[in-house]
Structure 1
Amino acid sequence: MDTTPATGPGALDDVPAEAWSGVHRGPLRAGEWVRLVDAKGRKHNFELVAGKRFFSNRGHLEHDDLIGREEGFTIASSMGGEYLVFRPLLSEFVVSMPRGAAVVYPKDSAQIVALADIFPGARVVEAGVGSGALTCSLLRAVGPYGHVLSYERREEFADVARRNVHQFFGAPEGASHPNWTLTLGDLAEALPASGERCDRIILDMLAPWECLEAAADALVPGGIVCAYVATTTQLSRFVETVRVHGGFTEPHAWESLVRDWHVEGLAVRPGHKMIGHTAFLVTARRLAPGAKPPRRTRRPAPGAYGVDYTGPRPADVAHEAGNGAETGAGFGAEDAGNAVSGLD
């Protein structure tokens, strides 16, 4: 078996430390984390320490037998168990790292980074920090010229997130990621007091609508607010609060589902398991000061804001009449007639 590290003209140097990517190239070294996967797909993550042993139900491995080798090899334990050895990807790290609060899963982190348009050099505000999973993706996306400001109400969650972020990015002992500021406090109070302005705000919390006014004041025109909520009641409350505020574009809400496929020759079928609902995402863009969004021409569905609805109510939507049909307030006469008749 060839264990010689890749060298020569075709070899790539390690990723520069100042990039703060959380990624290394070249031979495995002490202090790095590795991910072992056995024949049954069971995964083990641990830090490489010179002179230490890894134990499993298939015997043990010497850390020294891993250090100095290029990742992507197979190694046998003392009892013949075989393991694939790689550095963990960010998506693998966040689902196996220690947790204080529930993590934002990779499928949602990817949606947030792409559809909230997190760009290199962006100034991003995040609340709350949870266990640090989304924070890692945000720091990776903003790059060395951006900044992530995280707000967390609970100190125990902040401590877990701090350890996880430092572990992934390999922050030296006593140091922190230079592009990350973690503040213990409530964003609704702390952000206005700080006077910070930002390009993007991500709200991962129980009642994100309580932070909307602070978010609106901090966002630059054209900036994006993105909420990550678990339930339909949270989704409805946040969307309607954004509409009532009047300083944002029409909010866009969605969720993503991920399904694996089983592929073996002619046996090609959907997997028996899938990552279904984890959370809803909502985005809206900040308008310029004093600007108002265009008047909505599509009327709400009959009953949408009926007598049982108790949430925020857009200014162009009146309370429904006693017969349960929309009064048509804020819409044209033809729309109002159609609302009563039930026509589209």
Structure 2
Amino acid sequence: TLGEFILEMPRGAQVIYPKDLGAILIEADVFPGSRVVEAGTGSGALTMALLRAAGPAGRVTSYELRDEFARIAEQNIRRYLGATDALVLRRADIYAGVLPDDRPVDRLILDVPEPWRVVGHAAAALVPGGIFLCYVPTVPQVTQAVEALRTSGAFAMIETIEVLVRPWNIDGLSVRPAHRMVAHTGFLTTARRVQRQAASGSGPQDGERTDAVKPDDEEETVDEVSGFGEGEPA
């Protein structure tokens, strides 16, 4: 299974574990044919889950700065899923923005240390109703991310959850929880992209933001690996 493969595959960076991957797919509502931008490819665990959920008609664009992580992720993805045209791996910095070729986006999913730095770029890239999700391990990171989402004026329905898994031992009438559980690994924060409009025949209300964030159309030079069917792995 994918869950078993993730636990055993080679790693360059820490992975998001299966207990959180399932929640991410549902909380972000990754649907067949969706256009997803992921940042923080790492070892490719989340990337593989996103590819399976988005399907062959979808597109997953994954941003990773470190070449060694990108190489390991590419090898893991090839090994488990084989060649796919639904994936684009970019050696690029998501903090600098979502590249014009990758917009518009249905879902933007982050596993990076400072997701609040991406909120403005997410507002520019996401379609109305699109979903922003970030995965972070600490409370200060959650606090700063949520504050950035709230003050941006571009997001609503902001929620944070944590997934805890406790196995149970079942042996006839002897039923008890396991002595150890898979507790905290990270927080999942989601938000919905909204575009506020003034009431018909009236201008914007005091303190109300009605303009969408303008995308930064400056091009960046990045290395792109897309359509793994086109050549051999690096």
TM (norm. structure 2) is 0.82
Q: 2:5 maps to which residue?
A: 93
Which runs of structure 1 show a deviation greater than 6 angstroms over 4 or more consecutive aligned residues? Answer: none
2:35 is aligned, of 123, 132, 138, to: 123
Q: 1:327 maps to which residue?
A: none
Q: 2:103 maps to which residue?
A: 196
Q: 1:230 maps to which residue?
A: 137
Contact 1:192 1:217 in 2 (8 A): no
Render the CA deviation track for 1:177-233: whole Å, top value 9, x for unaligned. Answer: 210000001013251443611100001000011111111101000000000001001
Quickly say closer, same or farther: Cα 1:187–1:289, change in 2 above 3 A: farther
1:169 is aligned, of 76, 81, 103, to: 81
Quickly say closer, same or farther: Cα 1:195–1:106, change in 2 above 3 A: closer
Q: After superposition, where does 1:17-166 map in structure 2 within 5 Å?
A: 89-166=1-78
Distance between the aligned counterparts of 2:150 and 2:82, measured in 1?
42
Percent of pairs with identical residues: 49
Q: 1:300 maps to which residue?
A: none
- The DSSP-based 3-state class of the residue aligned with 1:253 is strand
Residues 1:251 and 2:158 aligned together: yes
- The DSSP-based 3-state class of the residue aligned with 2:195 is coil
Quickly say closer, same or farther: Cα 1:260–1:252, change in 2 above 3 A: same
Distance between the aligned counterparts of 1:201 and 1:232, measured in 2?
21
Distance between the aligned counterparts of 2:66 and 2:197, measured in 1?
36
- The DSSP-based 3-state class of the residue aligned with 1:144 is coil
Structure 1 position 246, deviation (Å): 0.8
Q: 2:201 maps to which residue?
A: none
Structure 1 position 289, deviation (Å): 5.6
Render the CA deviation track for 1:129-166: whole Å, top value 9, x for unaligned. Answer: 11100000000000110010000111111111111111
Q: After superposition, where does 1:292-331 map in structure 2 within 5 Å?
A: none
Residues 1:265 and 2:177 aligned together: no
Aligned length: 201
Q: After superposition, where does 1:174-193 map in structure 2 within 5 Å?
A: 177-193=84-100
Amino acid across the alignment from 1:208: P
Distance between the aligned counterparts of 1:156 and 1:190, measured in 2?
22
**RMSD, aligned CA:** 1.8
* Structure with bigger RCO (C-alpha 8 Å, 6+ apart): 2
Contact 1:204 1:228 in 2 (8 A): yes
Amino acid across the alignment from 2:131: I
- The DSSP-based 3-state class of the residue aligned with 2:142 is helix
Distance between the aligned counterparts of 1:183 and 1:192, measured in 2?
10
Contact 1:243 1:250 in 2 (8 A): no
Contact 2:132 2:193 in 1 (8 A): yes
Quickly say closer, same or farther: Cα 1:129–1:290, change in 2 above 3 A: farther
Distance between the aligned counterparts of 1:182 and 1:107, measured in 2?
24
